[in-house]
Structure 1
Amino acid sequence: MPVCVPQEEHYLVKWKGYPHSACSWEPRHHLKCFHLIKQFHRDIERELQRRAQAKGGSGGRKVAARCPRKLDPSLSHHLVLKAKQRQLLRQWQQHLNAKSLQPGLILVENEVDLEGAPRDFVYINEYKVGEGVTLSQVAPGCSCHDCYTDTGGCCPGASMHKFAYNHEGQVRVRAGHPIYECNSFCRCGPSCPNRVVQKGIQCKLCIFRTPDGRGWGVRSLEKIRKHSFVMEYVGEIITSEEAERRGQIYDRQGATYLFDLDYVEDVYTVDAAHYGNISHFVNHSCNPNLQVYNIFIDNLDERLPRIAFFSTRTIRTGEELTFDYNMQVDPVDVESTKMDSNFGLAGLTGSPKKRVRVECKCGQSSCRKYLF
């Protein structure tokens, strides 16, 4: 905490590696941690602004960040809590990147409130198989010399489907069409153009606290081209019966992360409430920039596709990533009618089931006002 005297500011410093009893007051010119001092004053400014707005006296104007001669005890307490929160979020960020097997870096940021990392969330990189679910690794491998130009159609052709990607790895089939990638039994190597989703998240992403009451969100820290793979939706695969049971519990809690795998039939559901990757934190929008695709790699069971998000348009640096929790695909042909991707909310999953009307907070001009 700074104490303002007529001539110079002094800061109470907690020295790294030393106990709190070793803290000392130091003049500003003794300190070389300029970024920490700057962050400290930003915290003061934000809290003073928040308090002024809460009192209704600021009229939306920005409050000048001035060092008070004497800090209010509640403000001092808030600044200490904010510093501890930032340290814990940094530790969580390190944990996420250690657990993630993806090339893309994950950052964590909360400049809105004192909310910390979820306590009961476990980061995973691939499906966790729940009770009553079996994954069959039955996909045959291709023997192509060039998977992109092979006349046999590579792995997609073996399943009577189109090759999904162009030379740049951008998806070129319409939503609703399944994507069959090369697998571990194929002769082609890791540079094969038919290996996109399996390479994992490539871009740098940030989990951030939204300022409008939507909890955590995810934004991209770099530009993402249109039709590019962004991330998979990963969680625990459970039966629909188990999803109904958990859904009733989640309904009482006010939120859930149930995603129906209803490509051909509504048998299994992905639950990302406690096990998941960064997609756990992606919010809904009625005008999303992500589109869902069903992916098959090693497992060809159409009841158990992998769920991948591709960009619907160019995504700017710093833009929030969103998808439609009640996404519908236009039935342009027989293939696309198979896909009806629904993200369960309030414990009710799947389009045939009754839904609770949940207010939408996406803020888009095309907002439907309710999620379901």
Structure 2
Amino acid sequence: MDASPLNPPPLVEEELVLRRSARCLNRPTRPSYAEQEPPKKPGGRGRSKRKRDEEKPELAPAQQGAKSPDRKDSKDEAGEKKPTPMIAALPVSCAGVAAEDDATGTGKSAKLRVKETLRAFNSHYLHFVQEEQKRAQAALQEINAKSGLKRQTKGGEKKRPSKRPDLKAITKMQEMNAVLYPEKTIGHLPGIDVGDHFYSRAEMVVLGIHSHWLNGIDFMGLKYQGKEYSNLTFPLATCIVMSGVYEDDLDKADEIIYTGQGGNDLLGNHRQIGSQQLKRGNLALKVVDDWVQKGVQGHVVFKFKLKRLEGQPSLTTSEVRFTRAEAPTTISELPGLVCDDISGGQENIPIPATNLVDDPPVPPSGFKYLKSLQIPKDIKIPSSIIGCDCEGGCASNKKCLCAQRNGSDLPYVSYKNIGRLVEPKAVVFECGANCSCNHDCVNRTSQQGLQYRLEVFKTASKGWGVRTWDTILPGAPICEYTGVLRRTEDLDGSQNNYCFDIDCLQTMKGLDGREKRAGSEMHLPNLHPENDSDAQPAPEYCIDAHSIGNFARFINHSCQPNLFVQCVLSSHNDVKLAKVMLFAADTILPLQELSYDYGYRLDSVVGPDGKIVKLACHCGAPDCRKRLY
């Protein structure tokens, strides 16, 4: 694709334009968090009050609903070292499907409550990962100090954590009564559909789909026999998990030959080391057919034949399609390919563009791709601050100056060499040019460039969008929003759908209805003392990606987004000129579209004629506000 500026494309119909902000008389501000509640009253500048989903989930009590049979009988590592692959929920009995919207008075759909529960769990999980990494680092330093050994204790054994972070997070959710559906239930669970994917067994536990992080068959025992279930025979399975650890399993998507529980060595090598017994979960399955046979290793195993209910949505659960979610392996096989790489080789990974909507199909046009922010000569960036003196990475230095700027702890934990942000913060301080740590230090996470395979694609009603080919975990960095740095006052007032306000200061001060993030009070006094008390509500600077920018300009709005906005500083302390980053708020599976909340308040945009401008929202989220502004 030619990197030179192109002629602007023709104007799109107003109701289809879903971009950053309409530069009219009463300009709205940019989003700074992943979720936003509708305002209590219309009008005025700014955004409505935000919820801290990761820390303050509003969870509904248990509902009579569904149990999804999925299964796994392995020693799954849902922690940092050995993540569990995605798991598809397969509801087993749907007699009398419960309403998707609960009657708790929260006004939230069941889908949103599921999302909030998973966000709360992942927030606890990342905090426990951070805690465990600190414990392991302290233990390593103690070993080094005593014996000079770097990795091993006396006898050659590594010090092990007392408990995995995912199990600690499950316990935390249970202690807070935050498990979404804590009671075992036969039938459908509102907000959880056939084909839903989960990254780990722990996520299934905190939702209440499956009550145990290890056992493959979840069942209701004899204690459930009574008036409520007088027509049922117990034990009765409510959920099974199939993960491929049993070598005798056979998954044909619409039909499963399922191996009962027991006899597996639990070491992850898929081998049966003993015979199974007809008890507990093996007595609980009600199936099309069952039999006993000798397995691959010669041990007795129980086999159960399960078939999908008639009328359920189609599934692709075979191993290859399941783990890849049918994401393409090469750019050349993409249907509707119109550009091999819109970045022209600037990014770490090529970003193809596809168009199956237009006839003839055309690539994105009207802009020049630029990976980094373009800074005009008339805008002076503050001089670099003193950096840390860490050797190697900063994670092992208790006195790291950059960690102290973040409130004593580094804001990231490392996962497969990719940093994950533990929680959204008022501002994240990264290591910069004057720091002595390595370039791959975890506290340089936003500086590592694109880490995931992405695709720009033409949507039916929202213009261009962006989707992922890879699984992206919560807290993982997606990209910086780039373009031309401009003073807000220099904009000419004409509509520009690609401007992004740098509103870190507004978020820290809680202006325009925003909730303050973690660290706001700690950072506020020392970052901008010269104008702290007299700061104007309007952001002083913005990023204009109308004619120059990266793929972030194509990421669409959603009322239930899977990304959030985070301001980041590395070389200086001026929050008015912070870097604008997008991070994953949820687990984003292959082929899912990326989105964030543009943060408009209803009736906040006024046209040149003084009339309120209204724009319909086409995000399709269950809790869509129906209007972008």
Trace 1:289-368 onto structure 2 (pairs within 5 A).
289-326=562-599, 356-368=613-625
| Residue 258, structure 1, aligned to residue 499, structure 2 | yes
* Structure 1 residue 123, shift from structure 2 partner: 0.7
| Residue 155, structure 1, aligned to residue 428, structure 2 | no
Trace 1:20-31 onto structure 2 (pairs within 5 A).
none
Please give the root-mean-square deviation of Cα atoms over the aligned residues, in Å: 2.8
* Structure 1 residue 95, shift from structure 2 partner: 5.3
Query: Which amino acid counterpart does residue 312 of structure 1 have in structure 2?
Result: A
Q: Report the equivalent of 2:422.
A: 172
Distance 1:259 1:345 in 2: 15
Query: Which amino acid counterpart does residue 320 of structure 1 have in structure 2?
Result: E
- When normalised by structure 1's length, the TM-score is 0.63
Q: Report the equivalent of 1:108.
A: 353
Distance change (3 Å), C-alpha of 1:354 and 1:269: farther
Distance change (3 Å), C-alpha of 1:345 and 1:119: farther
* Structure 1 residue 357, shift from structure 2 partner: 2.4
Distance 2:605 2:449 in 1: 26
* Structure 1 residue 371, shift from structure 2 partner: 1.3
Q: Hey, which bits of structure 1, 4+ residues long, moved more than 6 A? A: 344-348
Distance 1:193 1:122 in 2: 31
Residue range with higher mean Cα deviation, 151-160 or 198-207: 151-160
Residues 147 and 154, structure 1, Cα contact 8 Å, conserved in 2: no
* Structure 1 residue 223, shift from structure 2 partner: 0.9
Trace 1:244-255 onto structure 2 (pairs within 5 A).
245=492, 247-250=493-496
Query: Which amino acid counterpart does residue 553 of structure 2 have in structure 1?
Result: H
Residues 208 and 217, structure 1, Cα contact 8 Å, conserved in 2: yes
Q: Report the equivalent of 2:440.
A: 191
Query: Which amino acid counterpart does residue 126 of structure 1 have in structure 2?
Result: S
Distance change (3 Å), C-alpha of 1:357 and 1:121: same
Distance change (3 Å), C-alpha of 1:347 and 1:300: farther
Deviations 1:6-57 (A, max 9, x none): xxxxxxxxxxxxxxxxxxxxxxxxxxxxxxxxxxxxxxxxxxxxxxxxxxxx
Distance 1:283 1:313 in 2: 16
Q: Report the equivalent of 1:134.
A: 380
Distance 2:406 2:469 in 1: 37
Distance 2:605 2:481 in 1: 15
| Residue 242, structure 1, aligned to residue 490, structure 2 | yes
Distance change (3 Å), C-alpha of 1:223 and 1:327: farther
Distance 1:260 1:162 in 2: 28
* Structure 1 residue 218, shift from structure 2 partner: 0.3
* Structure 1 residue 361, shift from structure 2 partner: 0.7
**Higher helix proportion, which one?**
1
Q: Report the equivalent of 2:156.
A: none
Choose from 467, 472, 476 the match for 1:224: 472
* Structure 1 residue 133, shift from structure 2 partner: 1.9
* Structure 1 residue 232, shift from structure 2 partner: 1.1
Residues 353 and 363, structure 2, Cα contact 8 Å, conserved in 1: no
Q: Report the equivalent of 1:123.
A: 369
Choose from 204, 210, 214 the match for 2:453: 204
Distance 1:144 1:354 in 2: 56
Query: Which amino acid counterpart does residue 152 of structure 1 have in structure 2?
Result: K
Distance 1:327 1:165 in 2: 29
Identity %: 29
Residues 558 and 597, structure 2, Cα contact 8 Å, conserved in 1: yes
| Residue 96, structure 1, aligned to residue 343, structure 2 | yes
Query: Which amino acid counterpart does residue 451 of structure 2 have in structure 1?
Result: Q
Distance change (3 Å), C-alpha of 1:283 and 1:95: closer
Distance change (3 Å), C-alpha of 1:155 and 1:223: same
| Residue 284, structure 1, aligned to residue 557, structure 2 | yes
Query: Which amino acid counterpart does residue 305 of structure 1 have in structure 2?
Result: A
Residue range with higher mean Cα deviation, 261-270 or 310-319: 261-270
Query: Which amino acid counterpart does residue 363 of structure 1 have in structure 2?
Result: G
Q: Please, which runs of 5 or more residues in structure 1 have no aligned partner?
A: 1-84, 251-255, 329-343
Distance change (3 Å), C-alpha of 1:355 and 1:326: farther
Distance change (3 Å), C-alpha of 1:177 and 1:149: farther
Query: Which amino acid counterpart does residue 279 of structure 1 have in structure 2?
Result: A
Larger relative contact order (Cα-Cα within 8 Å, sequence gap ≥ 6): 2
Q: Please, which runs of 5 or more residues in structure 2 have no aligned partner?
A: 1-334, 506-534
Distance 1:154 1:355 in 2: 48
Query: Which amino acid counterpart does residue 550 of structure 2 have in structure 1?
Result: N
Residues 342 and 353, structure 2, Cα contact 8 Å, conserved in 1: no
- When normalised by structure 2's length, the TM-score is 0.38
Distance 1:120 1:316 in 2: 30
| Number of residue pairs the alignment of both structures matches | 255
Query: Which amino acid counterpart does residue 150 of structure 1 have in structure 2?
Result: N
Say which one has the larger Rg.
Answer: 2
Query: Which amino acid counterpart does residue 376 of structure 2 have in structure 1?
Result: G
Distance 1:354 1:165 in 2: 45
Distance 2:587 2:352 in 1: 21
